[in-house]
Amino acid sequence: MSIDAYGNAAKDSHLVNIGLDDESGGYQMVKYLLECGYEHIKVCAGRDNGVDHLRYVGAQRAMQECAAEGQKLQFVALGMNYEKRKASYDWLVQRRLPGTALFFLSDMYALEAIRFCADKKVAVPQQIGVAGYDDISYAQYSTPRLTTIKQDVQKKSTESSGNPSEMDRRRRRISAAGSRTVRDTGEKEVGGERLKSKIQQYCLILRDKEK
């Protein structure tokens, strides 16, 4: 048994992996950003590979199913070290258009970007939206606090404690779908009012201004 072993296991493998439905998480966040009215959504990761690729696939599916005319999605490879990411943040901020949201496939990158925007006097979310993925503990302490996808760690733990022989018999991947944690950074003001999410079925957790 393994937990979050991202790779291409042989179809006849006896390995049972307890993972997350990363594609669903990417879908949920982009659907939410589209419903908030963002027109230009940038999906940002170090590179389009592994788990980030699965999250991007979900984002693309949300665009296909939910996007209105004029709403666009773009993948941005940030680079794998801080200097490259910093240059990417600068490019994203300088070239932003009205109605732009940055969806980072890692909360750490989202927090870096929020700090970068603060240094450049670019207001989040008033001038640019920022969202993350993973709901790490530091996400709730950022200013503004980060809108993100929360991993269902408890479900992973429950699934991993099941009967090994039964899981071996099934030989399938068990996915623990994520839920969305909405805080300040993904909100958008339209006509002076907060645009509310219409997706309560995704176990939306509301904090701060939307309590």
Would you state the pLDDT for residue 183?
59
Q: How far apart are the C-alpha atoms of 203 and 158, rounded to whole Å?
A: 19
Q: How far apart are the C-alpha atoms of 69 and 159, rounded to whole Å?
A: 41
Would you state the pLDDT for residue 150?
87
Q: What is the mean pLDDT of each run of 10 residues along the chain (211 residues)?
A: 48 49 92 96 97 96 97 97 97 97 97 97 96 90 90 54 51 46 55 32 35 33
Would you state the pLDDT for residue 188?
52
Would you state the pLDDT for residue 77?
98
Whether 93 and 33 have beta carbons less than 8 Å apart is answered as: no
Q: How far apart are the C-alpha atoms of 173 and 157, rounded to whole Å?
A: 14
Would you state the pLDDT for residue 175?
40
Q: Which of 2, 20, 57, 30 is nearest to 186 (CA)?
A: 30
Would you state the pLDDT for residue 94?
96
Give the pTM: 0.73
Q: How far apart are the C-alpha atoms of 115 and 48, rounded to whole Å?
A: 24
Q: How far apart are the C-alpha atoms of 169 and 7, rounded to whole Å?
A: 21
Would you state the pLDDT for residue 111?
96
